[in-house]
């Protein structure tokens, strides 16, 4: 696979000794790591395999800095989880941590080098109103949204509008399932909550069952509109499968396939499994490969998704100036087109057609309006700077 052969970041994430890179190569690798949210993982790879001290001084300083940030952010997530458990102690039924916070609190491999921007939890849909009230009493308040966006979250999506703590500024997303109710792959959240597992380290909180954790990461990847984190998601899924499969991979892969079919997530999970084989050579046992292949349903669709994902997982960083005057290369144009196609596809999976077009048109209009406002602000700032410079540079006047 081309992305494996030429992506410096992937080489670094697999390195057991310090890569013999030039300064330019280190700059590119770190840019790729930042773009894919894998800088912390690269730093942990260097630390765990004892080659951090062999890294050139500039990159080494960045890797050490991100290790300190990872430690601080993960300590913060543990504290946030503790406060959430206290705030939601009166909610009947499990309160489930999702994604990154679950990996950290359950001490799972994807927590390695993980950085956070928010915390995600899930409660029963019938408890959303009670949970929102308890959280507001604990200091989490909804971000200010217009009527359309508020309705978008509450009626069409699988979560409440984002909440932010008034003192700590931490962001919280409260889900009632893992896919939107309007999705082509709707998931009954009660099935996930029924199998959730308690966290001994944090009484009152739970995490998803192992197979459900893998499926959540997979469907999040396939339905996410922004693929900047696609490579990190694939690493997460690979880590989870290898960890949970343990000494009995045959049984785990069988449970994963069965659960995917029960929850209606067979097709997105099969696409991810195929990509794991191409990227990490991680595949189901040979006796089960026909089962996973049959889940794809369309040979043409599977081939197309493979090629789209090959491009989508490549880190989006500035390229060397190419054939276009603005410095955008053919490869970067292809990557942007693939990103747009996957972005539209993700909305097609999440929403019916009669909601997609008005929604995307509105988002496009708002983005254009925001771009115009930014352009006017930049122009006004530039005019102010120029005017100020003209005053300062004016030659002194005669006293006559």
Please report the pLDDT score of residue 214 as a whole number: 98
What does the pLDDT read at residue 353? 63
Please report whether residue 34 resides in a domain.
Answer: no
* 371 and 308 in a common domain: no
| 28 is a domain residue | no
The verdict on 232 and 260 lying in the same domain is yes
Judgement on whether residues 273 and 363 belong to the same structural domain of the protein: no
Q: How far apart are CA 172 and CA 101, in angstroms?
A: 11
C-alpha distances in Å from residue 336, one per residue of 91, 219, 231:
44, 22, 16
Pick the closest to residue 225 from 359, 96, 384, 329 (CA basis): 359
Residue 164 lies in a domain: no
Q: 230 and 270, same structural domain?
A: yes
pLDDT at residue 242 in the model: 96
> Within this chain, do residues 316 and 380 fall inside the same structural domain, yes or no?
no
> Per residue in 108-141, is it b (16+ CB within 10 Å) or e — as a string?
bebbbbbbbebbbbbbbbebbeebbebbeebebe
Q: What pTM value is reported for the model?
A: 0.82
Residue 197 DSSP symbol: E
- Looking at the structure, do residues 277 and 382 belong to the same domain, yes or no? no
213 and 341, same domain (yes or no): yes
Residue 374, in any domain of the structure: yes
Number of domains in the chain: 2
The pLDDT of residue 108 is 96
Say if residue 304 is in the same domain as residue 363.
no
Residue 89 lies in a domain: no
* Predicted local distance difference test score (pLDDT) of residue 70: 95
Residue 122 lies in a domain: no
280 and 238 in contact (C-beta within 8 Å)? yes
Domain boundary (328, 351, 374) is at 351
Which domain does 262 fall in, by range? 209-351
Q: Is residue 314 part of a domain?
A: yes
pLDDT in single tens digits along all 400 residues of the chain:
444 546 899 999 999 999 999 999 999 999 999 989 999 999 999 999 999 999 999 999 999 999 999 999 999 999 999 999 999 999 998 999 999 999 999 999 999 999 888 899 999 999 999 999 999 999 999 888 777 777 777 877 888 899 999 999 999 999 999 998 888 889 999 999 999 999 988 889 999 999 999 999 999 888 876 677 889 999 999 999 999 998 899 999 999 999 999 999 999 999 999 999 988 889 999 999 999 988 987 777 777 777 777 777 777 775 443 334 344 455 566 666 776 777 777 766 776 666 666 766 766 677 777 777 777 777 777 777 666 655 444 444 444 4
Strand partners of residue 164: 141, 171
Examine the domain organization and report whether 215 and 287 are in the same domain.
yes
391 belongs to a structural domain: no
What's residue 144's pLDDT? Answer: 80
* Buried/exposed 277-287: b ≥16 CB within 10 Å, e otherwise: ebbbebebeee
């Amino acid at each position: 696979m081309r992305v494996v052969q030429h992506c410096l970041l992937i080489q670094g994430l697999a390195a057991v000794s310090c890569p013999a890179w030039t300064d330019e190569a280190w700059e590119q690798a770190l840019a790729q790591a930042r773009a894919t949210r894998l800088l912390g993982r690269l730093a942990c790879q260097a630390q765990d395999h004892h080659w951090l001290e062999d890294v050139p001084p500039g990159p080494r300083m960045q890797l050490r800095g991100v290790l300190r940030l990872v430690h601080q952010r993960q300590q913060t997530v543990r504290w946030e989880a503790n406060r959430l458990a206290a705030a939601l102690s009166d909610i009947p039924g499990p309160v489930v941590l999702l994604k990154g916070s679950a990996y950290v609190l359950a001490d799972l491999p994807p927590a390695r080098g993980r950085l956070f921007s928010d915390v995600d939890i899930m409660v029963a849909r019938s408890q959303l109103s009670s949970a929102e009230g308890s959280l507001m009493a604990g200091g989490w308040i909804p971000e200010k949204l217009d009527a359309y966006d508020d309705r978008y979250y509450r009626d069409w999506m699988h979560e409440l509008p984002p909440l932010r703590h008034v003192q700590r500024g931490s962001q919280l997303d409260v889900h009632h399932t893992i896919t939107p109710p309007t999705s082509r792959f709707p998931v009954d959240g009660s099935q996930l909550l029924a199998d959730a597992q308690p966290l001994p380290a944090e009484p009152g909180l739970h995490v998803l069952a192992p197979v459900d954790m893998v499926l959540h990461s997979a469907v999040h990847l396939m339905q996410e509109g922004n693929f900047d984190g696609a490579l990190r998601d694939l690493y997460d899924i690979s880590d989870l499968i290898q960890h949970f499969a343990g000494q009995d991979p045959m049984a785990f892969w069988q449970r994963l396939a069965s659960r995917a079919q029960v929850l209606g997530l067979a097709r997105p999970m099969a696409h991810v499994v195929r990509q794991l084989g191409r990227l990490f050579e991680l595949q189901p046992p040979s006796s089960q490969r026909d089962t996973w292949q049959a889940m794809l349903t369309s040979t043409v669709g599977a081939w197309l998704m493979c090629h789209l994902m090959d491009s989508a997982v490549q880190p989006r960083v500035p390229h060397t100036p190419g054939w276009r005057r603005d410095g955008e290369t053919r490869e970067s144009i292809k990557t942007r087109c693939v990103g747009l196609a996957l972005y539209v596809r993700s909305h097609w999976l999440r929403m019916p057609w009669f909601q997609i077009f008005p929604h995307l048109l509105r988002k496009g209009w708002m983005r254009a309006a925001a771009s115009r406002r930014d352009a006017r602000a930049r122009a006004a700032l530039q005019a102010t700077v120029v005017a100020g410079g003209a005053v300062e540079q004016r030659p002194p006047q005669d006293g006559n």
